[in-house]
Structure 1
Amino acid sequence: MTYTTGPVRQGDSAGEQCRFRTDDHPPLTDQIEQLLSTNAPLPIVTAGNPLLRRESERYNGRLPPALLSRFIEALRLTMHAAPGVGLAAPQVGVPLRIAVIEDPAPVTEEVRVARGRVPQAFRVLVNPTYEPIGPTRAAFFEGCLSVPGWQAVVARPAEVRLRGEDEHGRTLDEVFTGWPARIVQHETDHLNGMLYLDRAEPRSLSSSQAMTERWTQPTPKEAAVALGFELPR
Structure 2
Amino acid sequence: IHILSRVHERCLSTSLPAAQSFRKWYQQLWTTERTNLPPYDHFTQVGDPVLRGHAADVPTDYVKSKEVSEIVEQMVKVLRKYNCVGIAAPQIGISLRIIAMEFKQSIQKELPEATYKARRMTELPLTVFINPQLSVTNYTKHKHPEGCMSVRGYSAEVERYEAVKLSGLNQEGLPTELELSGWNARIAQHEMDHLDGKLYIDHMDTSTFICTCWETVNTKSGRVEIPFYK
**1:149 Cα shift?**
0.7
**1:94 Cα shift?**
0.9
Report whether the alignment pairs 1:54 with 2:67: no
Task: Look at both structures and tell me which one has the larger radius of gyration over its CA atoms.
Answer: 2
Partner in structure 2 of residue 124 of structure 1? 128
Q: How many residues end up aligned between the 2 structures?
A: 201
SS class of match (1:186): helix
**1:67 Cα shift?**
2.5
Give the AA of the match of 1:126.
Answer: I
Give the AA of the match of 1:45.
Answer: T
CA gap of 1:31–1:43, structure 2 versus 1, over 3 A, is farther
Instruction: Report the identity percentage.
Output: 27
Aligned counterparts of 1:211 and 1:172: Cα–Cα separation in 2 = 44
When structure 1 is superposed on structure 2, of 201-210 and 22-31 the one drifting more is 22-31
2:151 to 127, 140, 147: 147
SS class of match (2:213): helix
Q: What is the TM-score normalised by the length of structure 2?
A: 0.76
SS class of match (1:74): helix
Aligned counterparts of 2:80 and 2:11: Cα–Cα separation in 1 = 23
Partner in structure 1 of residue 117 of structure 2? 113
Partner in structure 1 of residue 68 of structure 2? 68
Partner in structure 1 of residue 166 of structure 2? 162
**1:134 Cα shift?**
2.7
Aligned counterparts of 1:84 and 1:14: Cα–Cα separation in 2 = 28
Aligned counterparts of 1:211 and 1:67: Cα–Cα separation in 2 = 44
Q: What is the TM-score normalised by the length of structure 1?
A: 0.75
CA gap of 1:57–1:211, structure 2 versus 1, over 3 A, is farther
CA gap of 1:178–1:212, structure 2 versus 1, over 3 A, is farther
Aligned counterparts of 1:120 and 1:15: Cα–Cα separation in 2 = 36
Partner in structure 1 of residue 79 of structure 2? 79
SS class of match (1:80): helix
Report whether the alignment pairs 1:29 with 2:26: yes
Partner in structure 2 of residue 104 of structure 1? 104
Q: Which runs of 5+ in 2 are unaligned?
A: 1-7, 218-230
SS class of match (2:138): coil
Give the AA of the match of 2:85.
Answer: V
SS class of match (1:27): helix
- For the aligned residues, what is the CA RMSD? 3.0
CA gap of 1:16–1:139, structure 2 versus 1, over 3 A, is farther
Give the AA of the match of 1:28.
Answer: W
**1:14 Cα shift?**
11
Partner in structure 2 of residue 188 of structure 1? 192
Partner in structure 2 of residue 229 of structure 1? none
SS class of match (1:175): strand
SS class of match (1:147): coil
